[in-house]
């Protein structure tokens, strides 16, 4: 681990710093396909969904400042998907390119296994080569591509689906 870097579970004090990182991605990137920033009640719902049941919400600190987060959340709503999670990783622009995404995703995979998840899915903008490479380095395989299934900033976006098997569970 890099000196001065800490990856830990989300705490109440992380609510606004993580929302600010997410909202920056909403405003400036196609990492997330939302058009409007998330208000406090909306962020509360996100935090609850990503900290309940088998899901985890981790934050990264550097020199005491929250600079990124990673979380697992429900892949789909019906009960039959309860052992499959979807990851989310967001890094503040000032902290990108220093291996933080790899550290967060690695810790998230360990946590997902410990929580008993069977599969982890990543839905990534197919043009986001850095995120695709990160997921592949940590064992994810691309299992699908949905051309032009979303749009933002006046252009169509393709969605790559990646998947990582976390264990060899027998059927539940």
What is the per-residue pLDDT across 28-59, written as a single tens digit (0 to 9) for each?
999 999 999 999 999 999 998 888 888 999 99
- In whole angstroms, how far apart are CA 20 and each of 24, 38, 67, 151? 6, 9, 10, 22
Task: Give the angle subtended at the CA of 47 by the CAs of 112 and 161, to the nearest 5°.
Answer: 50
> Which pair of structure tokens corresponds to residue 81?
């998907």
The runs of H, that is alpha helices, within 54-144 are: 100-114, 129-137
On whether the pTM is more than 0.85, the answer is yes
The per-residue pLDDT for 171 is 58
pLDDT in tens, 76-133: 988 899 999 999 999 999 999 999 999 999 999 999 999 999 999 999 999 999 999 9
Is the pLDDT higher at 52 or at 159? 159
Query: 112: closest CA among 145, 80, 136, 139?
Result: 139
- What's the gap between Cα 125 and its chain centre? 13
The CA distance from 14 to 10, in Å, is: 6
The CA distance from 150 to 136, in Å, is: 23
């Amino acid at each position: 681990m890099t000196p001065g870097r800490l990856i830990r579970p989300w705490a109440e004090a992380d609510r606004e710093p993580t929302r600010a990182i997410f909202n920056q991605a909403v405003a400036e990137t196609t990492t997330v396909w939302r058009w409007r920033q998330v208000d406090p009640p909306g962020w509360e719902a996100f935090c609850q969904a990503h900290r309940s049941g088998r899901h985890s919400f981790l934050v990264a600190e550097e020199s005491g400042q929250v600079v990124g987060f990673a979380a697992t959340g429900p892949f789909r709503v019906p009960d039959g998907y309860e052992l499959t999670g979807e990851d989310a990783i967001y890094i503040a622009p000032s902290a990108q390119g220093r291996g933080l995404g790899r550290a967060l995703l690695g810790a998230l995979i360990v946590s997902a296994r410990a929580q008993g998840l069977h599969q982890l899915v990543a839905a990534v903008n197919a043009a986001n080569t850095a995120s695709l490479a990160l997921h592949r380095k940590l064992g994810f395989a691309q299992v699908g591509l949905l051309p032009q299934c979303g749009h933002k900033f006046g252009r169509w976006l393709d969605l790559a689906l990646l998947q990582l098997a976390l264990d060899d569970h027998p059927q539940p």
